Structure 1
Amino acid sequence: MKHTLGIFARRAAPALALLWALHATAQNAAPVGGGFRIAGRVVNAATGDPIPRVTVAAHSQPDGRVLATAVSDSDGHFSIENLAAAKYPLSASKRGFRTEFYDEHEEFNSAIVTGEGQDTEHLQFSLAPPASLHGIVTGDGGDPVEGANVMLFRMPDAAHRSEGIVHMDNAMTDDTGAYQFSDLPAGRYYLAVKADPWYALHGRANRNVDGSPTGLDVAYPVTFFDSSIDESSAVPIALAEGSREEANVNLHAVPAIHLKLPETARSRGTPSVVLRETVFGQEMQGRGGLVAIQPGNLEAIGVAPGHYQITHGEPPRTVELNATSDVEIEPDAGVAAVTLSGTLHTSAGLPIEEDINLLLEPAEGTGRMRMQTFAQKGQFTFEGVLPGRWNLTAYAGPDGLALPVVSIATGQHAVAGNEIAVGDHSVSVAVAVSRSQTRIEGLARLDGKPASGAMIVLVPRAPGAYLSLLRRDQSDSDGSFALHDVAPGQYTVVAIVDGWKLDWRDREAIAPYLAAGTAVTIRDRSAPVVQLTKPLTAIARGTGASGGADGR
């Protein structure tokens, strides 16, 4: 099952929402009435040793309320009694360990299903001790740097390379230059530090009384562990479960670079020049400033050497720049950006009246910036889009409910999926999104028994729609699963045991398992719940598959 909203607010503020709920109920949790129980043992995921005094909680569906709790004994054993026949997401929490749900993978877990014939009394709940990372940021001479922005990036593991490097968190150094990241999952990380020398002077401030430069027109380049200013030389930091690692970074001030830029009047009040700094292809908050040096020309001051994306001119042009020294940008420099506009409608052809949040992201991993706009009464416009392949995502309502993009049409030609090819001319598209709330339910079995913890993948037949329409779930203890908000289309649903190590974003990684999947078709008029008529045969990761079945 997928984590429900509320239970997993801890991903934004680790463990706080869940721990508060447990605290409120742990000492006086009322049984929910019934003759079933959930029992097992909590062990350390790193060592296998039993963990005493862990609070184990049974939650309700779909709101995630804590219904009953138990505390593990000295041997790690726990038992939650007097439960009705139902489905219970199970969590475990103790100081010094990461708060987790039973058999948790990414945003999924396996709920425990009680009832006649269900074995719910021999669970092993593995709880991982968190890793932490700390260190000191110093400047020239070894003095601590206060207020430095320390950025933590997580590297994809070998099985998930298509996910790319992810910006995980930020921390600010204190007056001793110290920073710390806590409650981290095991993995490999990069560390980058961004700061400004407290004594730096730029522009007119960089002048002595006699008009000579002060020599303080300096900046700190973004610096990576282990004190390199080159992304490609950044040293990965390996964190094991329960480890506490130290990573110190030393910053060196270098002469600030000066970028001379052409200034052009822009319409709609937008700035004529936009300067963005990137780290691992992701936009960071800008630094430095723009000053006019003569009519029609600007100069960026206080800029550190690094990677930048500069948008200038009318119509806009974009320059990708690895700046190491002073540069003058010519008016015709860079790639011409274009306007992407279009209409939004449902897959049934109905208009969409409310505001929809649209996100445009590069599909090619080029490091280009994502863009955001709103569709109002079904109309939208993105300004300054660079040529290339882009993915469009739509979100509705205050909770940001994803609306799957079913197809995108240019003229009379519609292509399944959410990818848009942008050339060197402005383009207009018609985007069809799904408002379907169809849910596919079924069972996964392995050797005639429930397949608990299997990765369930709903794979669209149209390759171009793979990432936009794909759905995933994790089977519960009785093998049951539910795939939510499925758009109309033709699919194959598969169950893969230990599938969480597969790079599921890559269709080729899932393709070997499709032959053993179940075909299912969802239409605009399908029932709210589509029940598969036969159990899925779960396939062990790495074995491939042969044979298949039709669902309905």
Structure 2
Amino acid sequence: MHLRRRFILGLLISSGVLRCCAQDAPPPSTPGASTWRIAGRVLHAATNQPLSGVEVSVASTAERDKGFQTVRGPDGRFAFAQARGFSPQAYQQHGMFSTAVAVGPQLKSDNLTFRLVPDGSISGSVVDEENEPVRNGQAFLLLRGEGNYRPRWQGQAVLDEQGHFHFAHLAPGEYVLAISAQPWYAQDSQAPAKLQSASPEGVLPSDMNSNPPSESASSALLDVAYPLTYYPSVTEAGNAAPIRVTPGERVVADMTLRAVPALHLTIRHASSDSARPVSVTLMQRISERFDSFPISVQARSQPLGSGVVSVSGFAPGRFWLSLRTASKAEEREVDLQADTEIEVSESGSGSVTVEGVVQVSDGSTLPPGGYIRFVNRKSGEHFGSPISSQGTFQAEQMLAEPKAFEVSVFNVGGFRVREITAGGATLSGHSLQLPHNGTVSLKVVLAKGMAKIDGTVLLHDEPLSEAMVVLVPENPQDNTDLFPRDQSDSDGTFTLSEIAPGHYTVIAIQNGWDVDWQDPAVLKSYLENGKRIEITAPQTYTLSVHAQATTAAAAHPSQP
């Protein structure tokens, strides 16, 4: 019987020394029965030149207490005989995934090439029309990539006192940069005359009356705001220019913000109880295609009495408006291009209660500390509840309109959601369509001893490494939490674990790491040539799947 062992190789930088590590499967049952070899070179990914002074270490995951083996060779070369190892997962790394190296008879593992991709960065300064620094704003960075997928969030940075920002440790790719800030000198003008009907007597408090004309004109000049601005200093997302970062490149992206007259939003019937506080939030999406992470707009709100709230200090644009009190919620998308009044409907909001029980399919005891969560993928809104020792839960949320929430259970060990049934709401897969008020009953069944798939990716009937493997469930748009992934190893093998019963399609995509693998529209072109499988029992299934090339649609990304 031929024995194979598996290693995951990677690169680390520690105290200026490059380290390469490896991870293996459990050792063969007969110690010393075989001796294998792992060898290769470490190259600079951009220049393909060998990296000198490289220190490479390996340690067995089964025997980590025995420490590391370390070698150092000229021109980045390294070699281990009868190698065992641990890795930070960086060999052919893609996010959290990397390629494991299989060693054994008929397997080549002694001519490996590590390509270390140097980090890039984006930095710059933000100034106003007078070339003065814009302070205390926010810089937001998204990765566009090369596939037909939504931009990915990379992070945000605060503008310092000189208007500087810096994003470090960036992978090669195309990025979208946006700046949100407020002029330091901005002041609200007096409430417009149309608000004078807000009080029952038809007159606003004395301190809200208009100033003399000269003061009003001066105040209007300071009643300005910066619109959300994209590189290179444009205010329309469609006109944003991608910032291309090559390996090791330090990109400078300076920007100028230009103030525009600020708008005023008047919200009537915001609250009928003056003793209850009103929370008003304006959110704005950086990209229409990046709808899962809106950012907060730096607007100012103040109550004017009699249920009227004024919001000011924001530039024209499309926003997500959220208004909440202790008894009411109102949410809507609004396109604000001028001063606007909005009536809040008394019946337009309500409270929905989701209650129920979480059980284990075999009747065993549920681990303590569980939590059930409900997430709306479009808006990012979420709520949840701890799960009691008896498996019960109750969660309440204020909703302005019916909305879909994805159901997930956390902190329950190796258990996964196997089945969900609902009363009082529509259920599709793991997506629950909640009404805006009332009570919804839910039963969630968990299972342990889930199924596993061991497979091989083939290209022209030969094993293919570094392919992205995705397990796609039926109705993928309603089951985005059921998308296990893996990366094929050097012998083409992969493993997908903790799979619940159901019908699935396994797809493998060569060079597919920029594909939006959770977008049903993107996956549609791959599903036809995938491998269909039905999971019926907690056992190991084996299969082979042919790799597919990245589709033409994924090769031409849309603008943000």
- Conserved in 1, the CA contact under 8 Å of 2:122 and 2:252? yes
Match of 2:24? none
Aligned to 2:308, which of 297, 305, 315? 297
Q: How does 1:136-175 map to 2 (within 5 A)?
A: 136-159=125-148, 161=149, 164-175=150-161
- Conserved in 2, the CA contact under 8 Å of 1:410 and 1:430? yes
SS in 1 for 2:481: helix
1: distance between equivalents of 2:376 and 2:507?
28
TM-score, structure 2 as length reference:
0.74
SS in 1 for 2:527: helix
| Residue correspondences, number | 498
Q: How does 1:49-448 map to 2 (within 5 A)?
A: 49-58=49-58, 60-61=60-61, 67-71=68-72, 73-74=74-75, 76-81=76-81, 83-84=83-84, 88=85, 90=87, 101-159=90-148, 161=149, 164-202=150-188, 212-213=215-216, 214-215=218-219, 216-262=222-268, 263-264=270-271, 271-280=277-286, 281=291, 282-312=293-323, 315-332=328-345, 336=349, 339=352, 341-346=354-359, 348=361, 354-362=369-377, 365=378, 368-377=379-388, 378-385=392-399, 387=401, 390-397=404-411, 405-411=417-423, 415=427, 417-422=429-434, 426=438, 428-432=440-444, 434-436=446-448, 438=450, 440-444=452-456, 446=458
| Distance verdict in 2 for CA 1:119–1:52, change over 3 Å | same
- Conserved in 1, the CA contact under 8 Å of 2:272 and 2:307? no
Code of the residue aligned with 2:339 in structure 1: it is D
CA deviation map 1:82-136 (0-9, x unaligned): 524xxx4545xxxxxxxx7111123211122344554211112222222221211
Match of 1:539? 547
Code of the residue aligned with 2:525 in structure 1: it is A
2: distance between equivalents of 1:462 and 1:157?
26
1:470 aligns with 2:479: no
SS in 2 for 1:292: strand
CA deviation map 1:475-514 (0-9, x unaligned): 2234443222222334454555444455432341331233
Ranked by relative contact order (alpha carbons within 8 Å, sequence separation 6 or more), the top structure is: 2
2: distance between equivalents of 1:437 and 1:270?
50
| Distance verdict in 2 for CA 1:433–1:186, change over 3 Å | farther
TM-fit CA distance, 1:185? 1.4
Code of the residue aligned with 2:488 in structure 1: it is S
| Distance verdict in 2 for CA 1:386–1:272, change over 3 Å | same
- Conserved in 1, the CA contact under 8 Å of 2:53 and 2:74? yes
2: distance between equivalents of 1:480 and 1:202?
63
| Distance verdict in 2 for CA 1:52–1:62, change over 3 Å | same
Match of 2:39? 39
SS in 1 for 2:525: helix
TM-fit CA distance, 1:227? 1.3
- Conserved in 2, the CA contact under 8 Å of 1:335 and 1:386? yes
1: distance between equivalents of 2:80 and 2:498?
33
Larger Rg: 2
Match of 2:197? none
1: distance between equivalents of 2:155 and 2:174?
14
- Conserved in 2, the CA contact under 8 Å of 1:393 and 1:404? no
RMSD, aligned α-carbons: 4.3
Structure 2 unaligned runs (5+)?
Answer: 1-5, 22-26, 191-206, 552-560
- Conserved in 1, the CA contact under 8 Å of 2:399 and 2:436? no
2: distance between equivalents of 1:348 and 1:394?
16
Code of the residue aligned with 1:379 in structure 2: it is F
1: distance between equivalents of 2:493 and 2:332?
51
Q: How does 1:452-463 map to 2 (within 5 A)?
A: 452-461=465-474
1: distance between equivalents of 2:7 and 2:136?
36
2: distance between equivalents of 1:157 and 1:315?
43
2: distance between equivalents of 1:334 and 1:226?
44
Q: How does 1:496-511 map to 2 (within 5 A)?
A: 496-500=509-513, 502-505=515-518, 506=520, 507-511=523-527
Aligned to 2:533, which of 489, 511, 519? 519
2: distance between equivalents of 1:416 and 1:175?
50
- Conserved in 2, the CA contact under 8 Å of 1:260 and 1:300? yes
| Distance verdict in 2 for CA 1:177–1:39, change over 3 Å | same
Match of 2:497? 484
TM-fit CA distance, 1:435? 4.5
2: distance between equivalents of 1:433 and 1:247?
51
CA deviation map 1:334-389 (0-9, x unaligned): 96566362435246286967441514123xx5xx3422332443334352335466
Q: Could you tell which deviates more after superposition, 172-181 or 424-433?
A: 424-433
SS in 2 for 1:504: coil
2: distance between equivalents of 1:467 and 1:520?
18
2: distance between equivalents of 1:477 and 1:427?
52
SS in 2 for 1:101: coil
- Conserved in 1, the CA contact under 8 Å of 2:233 and 2:256? yes
SS in 2 for 1:470: coil
SS in 1 for 2:480: helix
State the identity as a percent: 24
Structure 1 unaligned runs (5+)?
Answer: 9-14, 92-99, 544-552
